[in-house]
Amino acid sequence: MKKILIADDEALIRRLVCDFLKKSGYETVEADNGEKAIQIFNSCNDIDLAVLDIMMPELDGWEVCRRIRRVSDIPVLFLTARSQEFDELNGFEAGGDDYVTKPFSPSVLVKRIEALLKRSESREVSAGKQEIVTIGTLSINIPAHEVTLDGAKTDLTIKEYNILLKLSSNPGRTYSREQLLDDIWGIDFVGDPRTVDSHVARLRTKLGNWGEAHLKTIYGIGYKIEVNKN
């Protein structure tokens, strides 16, 4: 049974969402502030998706999402009364996968959660076909979500890791910004497509000489991993 974290300081909203999710066969855990949401997430190793309000005591939803993204790529859906474009963009920049404004349809919310979970499962199955990817001195241990370069561990954000894994899954193939956005940020992403460029630039910097030699920009198209260089 999939477990979903519901973080909202409004008890009625939490109860409404939890009731609909339970009727659909999901297990739920609740938090009434951002700090508690992080505590629950860190104490449980089986949270499959998080539904976050933005304006919460202690920590706002954006910060909760950022902290989750440091260690996990589970789907995150923002459920909030903040409906300005600025707020939605901040949600996606923080690492959110979907954004729903209040008032909302509980039935539609459940369907969007189901779609996010299905997409997440599809990625896990695809990644699970190969446990370790090695290109030159770089190695990606997929089950451990760990990247090593020249034998040393390299710390990447979840988005940087997923970009590297996607490009490395098919060396030599060029992926467009749109393909990377759809696969990593999700098809509902509405922010600036150039966010891909900034993530790739930071990834290349972290990978040093290997990044300069292998992580290539194909101008006007996208990015690829080039394997014919040492």
Distance CA 186, CA 116 (A): 9
**Domain chopping of the chain, boundaries:** 3-126, 128-225
64: enclosing H helix or E strand: helix 61-69
The 3-state secondary structure of 48-117, one letter per residue: CEEEECCCCCCCCHHHHHHHHHCCCCCCEEEEECCCCHHHHHHHHHCCCCEEEECCCCHHHHHHHHHHHH
- Other CB atoms within 10 Å distance of the CB of residue 217: 14
What pLDDT score does 130 carry? 58
Q: Decide which of 164 and 175 is more confident.
A: 164
CATH number given to 3-126: 3.40.50.2300
Distance CA 223, CA 174 (A): 5
Q: How confident is the model at residue 105 (pLDDT cuts 50, 70, 90)?
A: very high
What pLDDT score does 33 carry? 96
Mean pLDDT, residues 75-87: 88
> So what's the architecture of 128-225 in CATH?
Orthogonal Bundle (1.10)
Of 192, 209, 46, 20, the residue nearest 105 (C-alpha): 20
Mean pLDDT of the chain: 87
